[in-house]
Amino acid sequence: MIKHKHITEPDAFGFQVRIVRRGKETSRYFSHKLWGSKYKSIKAAIAWRDQMLVVLKGSKTRFLKPPKNKTTTGLTGVSRTIKFDRRKDKKYLCYTVFWVCDGKSKNKTFQVGNVESITADDELHAFRTARLFRSYYEHAIDNDLPFDDGQFAGWKKKRIYDTVSTLAA
């Protein structure tokens, strides 16, 4: 049998569609006898699953805790902070992106540099990269795609947002 996401064959008599979003299960059983044949029941299960994925789109967990109303950037999941390094007695400007991976909170920090020596262009570059990182994550989770943060390695030397006009489909 061909594998279909969210569809299982728990017994020899039909297919079951199960979709879980935010801990709530939506499911339906498609009996071969009721639908007339195994082929018709799998087609009905696929059609129902596709309709439910549209209805439930965007209801996946993006945060372990609900986001706070206050934000330093105006973007959910992206914050602007100044970190203090006691060893060097210097302050560093950073943009941090927060996301959830396998039920665990993760973050990626885009450090702009020493507060005393950064330029407006440096800060804008870090902000735009952090914003793109977050939008890639949201696109991946909304469309059941794997999220790869490796493409942002070496972000200081490349301007990813200039080469990408829209999210990958």
pLDDT tens digit sequence for 47-77: 999 888 888 776 555 555 555 555 667 777 8
Nearest to 147 by CA among 158, 138, 156: 138
Asked whether 25 and 55 are in contact (CB, 8 A), the reply is no
**Mean pLDDT over each residue of the chain, to the nearest integer:** 81
For position 168, what pLDDT does the model report? Answer: 45
pTM, 2 dp: 0.54
Q: What distance in Å separates the CA atoms of residue 66 and residue 33, rounded to the nearest whole number? A: 44
- Give the single-character DSSP code of 74: S
pLDDT, greater one: 139 or 67: 139
Q: Is the pLDDT of residue 44 over 60?
A: yes
The percent of residues in the chain predicted with pLDDT above 90, rounded, is 20
Q: What distance in Å separates the CA atoms of residue 61 and residue 100, rounded to the nearest whole number? A: 8
For position 3, what pLDDT does the model report? Answer: 82
- H-helix or E-strand spanning residue 18: strand 14-21
Residue 51's identity, in one-letter code, is: Q
- Extract the tokens encoding 151: 């493409």
User: What residues does 85 pair with on adjacent strands?
Assistant: 90
For position 139, what pLDDT does the model report? Answer: 85
Neighbours of 90 (CB within 10 A): 14
Identify the band that residue 86 occupies on the pLDDT scale cut at 50, 70 and 90. Answer: confident
- Extract the tokens encoding 50: 């596709």
Burial of 30 (0-12, 13-18, 19+ CB in 10 A): buried
For position 146, what pLDDT does the model report? Answer: 82
